[in-house]
A and B are shown apart, each in its own frame.
Chain A
Amino acid sequence: MPSFSTVFAFLERRSEEVIAGVCVVVMASLVFFQVVMRYVFSAPTSWSDEIAVYAMLWSVYISASWAVRERAHIRVMNLINLFPGRIALGLAVLSDLVWFAFAVYLTWQSFLLHLSMWELPFESPVLGVAQKWPYLCLVVGFALMTLRLIQVYWRWARDGILPTAASEDGAIIHD
């Protein structure tokens, strides 16, 4: 029986990548499934498209939080790095603070949007899925992003190492 802290450590490290990875597999399989249904069974489906899009939305907003942990978000640090060390650090912290404030604000706004969908239900035309559930990806994604930002600084305070604020490396294999 793994202890609570190992379970928590695993969730902290892996939960976003597992969810996002599963979403990618779901996207690829559902779109392929539709091709197979059409050509092999001559029975085109329409529900698979809709689910595949939900999977894409969740993978995007969940990985956006994961990308905070990995410092993979694309940012331009060249100007900041022109300043002498302490000022550069100060500016990097300032930009993270603005980002943090924005993430909190957007979590709140997406929560309001989600709440409004309880009052005015809104369903998808094909499957009749209540849209408040897929829209929850915004609330969850931005809330996790907020927590990840806090975590970066909490670790800084604890370990004294700021996980390189200047990660242009994140721009590596994107398009």
Chain B
Amino acid sequence: MIEALYMFGALVVTIAFGIPIPIAVAIATLVGYFLIDIPVVALAQAMYTGVEPFPLLTVPLFVFAGALMERGGLALRIVAIAQSLIGNYMGSLGLVAVLGCTFFAALSGSGPATTAAIGAVMIPAMIRERYDPAFGGAIAASGGALGSLIPPSNLMIIYGVVSDTSIPRMFLAGVVPGLVASALLLLVTWLIARRRGYGGQTDHSFSWARVGQACWDGKWAIGAPVLILGGIYSGAFTPTEAASVAVVYAFVVGQFVHRELTRDAILSCLKTTAMISGAVLIIVGPAKAFGELLSLMDVPFLIGEFLTGFTDSSFILLLVIAAILIVTGMFLESIAQIILLTPLMLPIAVSIGIDPVVFGVIMVIACEIGFLTPPVGANLFVATRLTNLGIDRISIAVIPFLFTYVVVIVLIALFPGLALWLPNLAFGPGG
């Protein structure tokens, strides 16, 4: 146990002093190896085998597809559909942004990418209607977080790989919580916009003809989730294959149908994807070694003993675990959080009778809250860049939205059926 404390100490100190997070995890693992005498070559081995699982390919492929969809004009058409659905209300542009994020989330597996795609269109539009820019940025950041909850979702893929949970099951489990979160975000947006008197002067009143026209113009954008999710649930493709189909679809639509993908745009999408592999997926190897070492030291069991010492109620315990995940999520990058904490926390959750799928959904929402909190909130960085405001302004403006995600966690802890209903309906209970 004392060895594990040294490892955690090394991790905290190295991260706090600015060592890149994957390297910090590797250094903490090295400390453990030295203390209990494991040859260091095992770390090199884990860095290879960690990146070896085939389903991991889904992550860069969905990132690539999402980037191509954004640059290929699908994001714009999604916004147009959302705009046609929302009539002339107080705060209608804010509502359009949330709805646009909800739809784009069904095309994209990434929270920050959804923020970037919808925010790039909607933040300038909101500022033109004299919204407070920080409020606009907060809407895009919090709506964008839906990208990781509504399928497809890169975080759920990572969780599925680490915890050996079925990825299609995880995807379906995110649908209802995602829609609940979306509804709550719409409500908060409307309440704040009404109090501050934003919008409501546009001439876009609701008409079915307009909805029909927008849906027709956006038919290729609507086709993407139909193809991706339909393909997965009809059993036609595995999630990884669906991701490659999404890449080809996004490329063909952007290049030949919308004709908006230039050569430079494609190269920049490739660069983004490759950079994400290097800066983010590199955590997978060291985190695997770190997690295995902690399991070897029986740490998950000890933490479990410690936590169950407080209370017998699985509801309260789940909330305590969620609170821990929210706090660690503020300091860890989301993929790192899932890979590091799943092996530690999942056994505890399972031992008190929580379904791994429910735990996974809560883990993902905790990561989304992490997207919205400094110091490493990825969605905040995107919104900061899109609004040219300081991160402090947006971090404050985002607080009411952040609480909607906390509410969703509490709701799922109270009614696990919110997450389990859809996957059980599709695949039958268990498994």
- Chain A residues close to B by CB (< 8 Å): 17, 20-21, 23-25, 27-29, 31-32, 34-35, 39, 49, 52-53, 56-57, 59-67, 70, 72-80, 91-92, 94-95, 98-99, 102-103, 105-106, 109-110, 112-113, 116, 134-135, 137-138, 165-166, 168-175
Within 8 A of A (CB), among B277-316: 277-282, 284
Q: Is B18 touching A173 in the complex (CB atoms < 8 A)?
A: no
With A and B bound together, what is the CA distance between A100 and B95 in angstroms?
A: 48
Contact check: which of B41, B54, B277, B331 meets A20 at CB < 8 Å? Answer: B277
Q: Is A56 touching B116 in the complex (CB atoms < 8 A)?
A: no
Greatest chain A CB density within 10 A among B16, B30, B63 is at B16
A selection of 27 A-B contacts at a CB cut-off of 8 Å is A20-B277, A24-B270, A27-B57, A27-B61, A32-B241, A32-B244, A32-B248, A52-B54, A56-B281, A60-B284, A67-B275, A72-B279, A74-B376, A75-B19, A75-B21, A79-B18, A99-B20, A105-B40, A113-B44, A135-B48, A138-B47, A172-B381, A172-B382, A173-B112, A173-B382, A174-B333, A175-B280
With A and B bound together, what is the CA distance between A95 and B79 in angstroms?
A: 44
Q: Is B64 an interface residue (CB 8 A)?
A: yes
With A57-B51, A175-B113 as known contacts, state yes or no: A17 contacts B19, CB within 8 Å: no
Within 8 A of A (CB), among B140-189: 148, 154-155
Helix, strand, loop or mixed for chain A's interface?
A: helix
Q: Is B14 touching A171 in the complex (CB atoms < 8 A)?
A: no
With A28-B64, A74-B376, A174-B333 as known contacts, state yes or no: A53 contacts B17, CB within 8 Å: no
With A and B bound together, what is the CA distance between A137 and B17 in angstroms?
A: 28
Q: Is A56 touching B17 in the complex (CB atoms < 8 A)?
A: no
Contacts of B236 in A (CB 8 A): 39
Contacts of A171 in B (CB 8 A): 333, 376, 378, 381
Q: Is A173 touching B116 in the complex (CB atoms < 8 A)?
A: yes
Task: In the A-B complex, list the 6 residue pairs whose CB atoms are closest, starting with the nearest.
Answer: A63-B278, A20-B274, A31-B244, A73-B20, A32-B244, A95-B18
Contact check: which of B56, B63, B112, B155 meets A56 at CB < 8 Å? Answer: B56
Contacts of A24 in B (CB 8 A): 60, 64, 270, 273-274, 277
Contacts of A21 in B (CB 8 A): 267, 270-271, 274
CB-nearest residue of chain A to B67: A173
Contact check: which of A31, A73, A166 meets B279 at CB < 8 Å? Answer: A73
Chain B interfacial residues counted at CB < 8 A: 74
With A32-B245, A74-B376 as known contacts, state yes or no: A175 contacts B23, CB within 8 Å: no
Q: Is A175 touching B154 in the complex (CB atoms < 8 A)?
A: yes
Q: Is A31 touching B154 in the complex (CB atoms < 8 A)?
A: no
In the assembled complex, the CB of B97 is this many whole angstroms from the nearest CB of chain A, namely 18
CB-nearest residue of chain A to B52: A53
CB-nearest residue of chain A to B110: A175
CB-nearest residue of chain B to A28: B247
Contacts of B16 in A (CB 8 A): 76, 79
Q: Is A31 touching B148 in the complex (CB atoms < 8 A)?
A: no
Contacts of A103 in B (CB 8 A): 23
With A75-B20, A138-B48, A174-B333 as known contacts, state yes or no: A98 contacts B14, CB within 8 Å: yes
Q: Is A76 touching B375 in the complex (CB atoms < 8 A)?
A: yes
CB-nearest residue of chain A to B335: A175
Q: Is B86 an interface residue (CB 8 A)?
A: no
Q: Is B280 touching A94 in the complex (CB atoms < 8 A)?
A: no
Contacts of A73 in B (CB 8 A): 20-23, 279
With A and B bound together, what is the CA distance between A113 and B40 in angstroms?
A: 10
CB-nearest residue of chain B to A20: B274
CB-nearest residue of chain B to A139: B44
With A and B bound together, what is the CA distance between A170 and B275 in angstroms?
A: 9
Contacts of A65 in B (CB 8 A): 278
With A and B bound together, what is the CA distance between A68 and B54 in angstroms?
A: 26
With A and B bound together, what is the CA distance between A137 and B281 in angstroms?
A: 14
Contact check: which of B57, B272, B335 meets A173 at CB < 8 Å? Answer: B272
Q: Is A23 touching B274 in the complex (CB atoms < 8 A)?
A: yes
Q: Is A170 touching B279 in the complex (CB atoms < 8 A)?
A: yes
Q: Is A168 touching B381 in the complex (CB atoms < 8 A)?
A: yes
With A and B bound together, what is the CA distance between A106 and B48 in angstroms?
A: 12
Q: Is B54 touching A49 in the complex (CB atoms < 8 A)?
A: yes
Contacts of B30 in A (CB 8 A): 102
With A and B bound together, what is the CA distance between A109 and B47 in angstroms?
A: 11
Contacts of B271 in A (CB 8 A): 17, 21
In the assembled complex, the CB of B68 is this many whole angstroms from the nearest CB of chain A, namely 10
Q: Is A169 touching B381 in the complex (CB atoms < 8 A)?
A: yes
Q: Is A52 touching B241 in the complex (CB atoms < 8 A)?
A: no
Interface 0/1 of B57-98, CB less than 8 Å to A = 101110110000000000000000000000000000000000
Contacts of B272 in A (CB 8 A): 173
Q: Is B395 an interface residue (CB 8 A)?
A: no
Contacts of B207 in A (CB 8 A): none
Contacts of B273 in A (CB 8 A): 24
Q: Is A78 touching B277 in the complex (CB atoms < 8 A)?
A: no
Q: Is B276 an interface residue (CB 8 A)?
A: yes
Contacts of A72 in B (CB 8 A): 275, 278-279
Greatest chain B CB density within 10 A among A31, A59, A78, A173 is at A173
With A and B bound together, what is the CA distance between A153 and B244 in angstroms?
A: 40
Contacts of A138 in B (CB 8 A): 44, 47-48
Q: Is B253 an interface residue (CB 8 A)?
A: no
In the assembled complex, the CB of B273 is this many whole angstroms from the nearest CB of chain A, namely 5
| Beyond A31-B240, A35-B244, A175-B334, 6 additional pairs, beta carbon < 8 A | A49-B54, A53-B52, A75-B18, A95-B14, A106-B47, A174-B335
With A57-B51, A74-B376, A138-B48 as known contacts, state yes or no: A28 contacts B20, CB within 8 Å: no
CB-nearest residue of chain B to A66: B278
